[in-house]
Amino acid sequence: MAREAWGRWGAEDEVGAPNLIGPEQVRLAASLVRTGQVMSLSQPISVRTPVPKHRAGAMHFMGRDGGDYAAGAKRPGGFQFAEDTVVLPLHLGTHIDALCHAWCDDHLYNGFPGATVRSTTGALRCGIDKMKPLVTRGVLLDIVRLRGTVAAPGDVIGRAELEAATAGAGVTLRQGDAVLIRTGWLESQTARDVDFNAEPGIDVEAALWLASRDVAMIGADNFAIETLPFPASTVFPVHQRLIRDHGIPLLEGMVLRPLAEAGGTAFLFVVTPLPVVGGTGSPVAPVAVL
What residues numbered 21-40 form the site for a copy of itself, per CB under 8 A?
22-27, 30-31, 33-38, 40
> Cβ(262)–Cβ(290) under 8 Å?
yes
Q: In what side-by-side order are the strands of the sheet with 266-271?
A: 38-40, 287-289, 266-271, 134-142, 178-182, 217-220, 250-252, 95-97, 281-283
- Pick between residue 103 and residue 196 the one whose CB is nearest to a copy of itself: 103
Site membership for a copy of itself, residue 88 (CB under 8 A): yes
Site membership for a copy of itself, residue 10 (CB under 8 A): no
Task: Give phi and psi for 244, each to the nearest 5.
Answer: -75, -45
Site membership for a copy of itself, residue 167 (CB under 8 A): no
CA distance 154 to 184: 12
Q: Which residues of 223-241 are buried (b: 16+ CB within 10 A; e: fewer)?
A: bbbbbbebeeeeebbbbbb
CA distance 17 to 246: 7
- Pick between residue 166 and residue 282 the one whose CB is nearest to a copy of itself: 282
Contacting range for a copy of itself; rule: CB under 8 A; set: 6-14, 154-162, 236-244, 245-253: 236-244
What is the nearest approach in angstroms of a copy of itself to the Cβ of residue 279? 6
What is the nearest approach in angstroms of a copy of itself to the Cβ of residue 288? 10
Binding mask 36-75 vs a copy of itself (x if CB under 8 A, - otherwise)? xxx-x-xxxxxxx-------xx-xxxxxxxxxxxxxxx-x
Tell me the sheet residues that pair with 182.
142
What residues numbered 114-153 form the site for a copy of itself, per CB under 8 A?
114-120, 122-123, 129, 132-133, 135
Which position among 12, 83, 190, 191 is part of the footprint of a copy of itself (CB under 8 A)? Answer: 83
What is the nearest approach in angstroms of a copy of itself to the Cβ of residue 160? 25
- Pick between residue 165 and residue 176 the one whose CB is nearest to a copy of itself: 176
Site membership for a copy of itself, residue 283 (CB under 8 A): yes
What is the nearest approach in angstroms of a copy of itself to the Cβ of residue 109? 12
Site membership for a copy of itself, residue 175 (CB under 8 A): no
Contacting range for a copy of itself; rule: CB under 8 A; set: 2-10, 143-151, 179-187, 276-284: 276-284
What is the nearest approach in angstroms of a copy of itself to the Cβ of residue 147? 29
- Pick between residue 161 and residue 221 the one whose CB is nearest to a copy of itself: 221
Q: Cα separations (Å) of 220 from 30, 154, 157, 178, 252?
A: 22, 15, 12, 10, 5
CA distance 96 to 46: 17
Site membership for a copy of itself, residue 229 (CB under 8 A): no
What residues numbered 206-225 form the site for a copy of itself, per CB under 8 A?
none
Tell me the sheet residues that pair with 287.
40, 270
Q: How many residues bind a copy of itself (CB under 8 A)?
A: 104
Site membership for a copy of itself, residue 278 (CB under 8 A): yes
Q: Establish how many alpha carbons lie within 13 A of residue 195's alpha carbon, considering only the half-sphere containing its beta carbon.
A: 10
> Cβ(157)–Cβ(203) under 8 Å?
yes
Q: Rounded to a whole number, what is the largest CA-CA distance in the chain?
A: 66
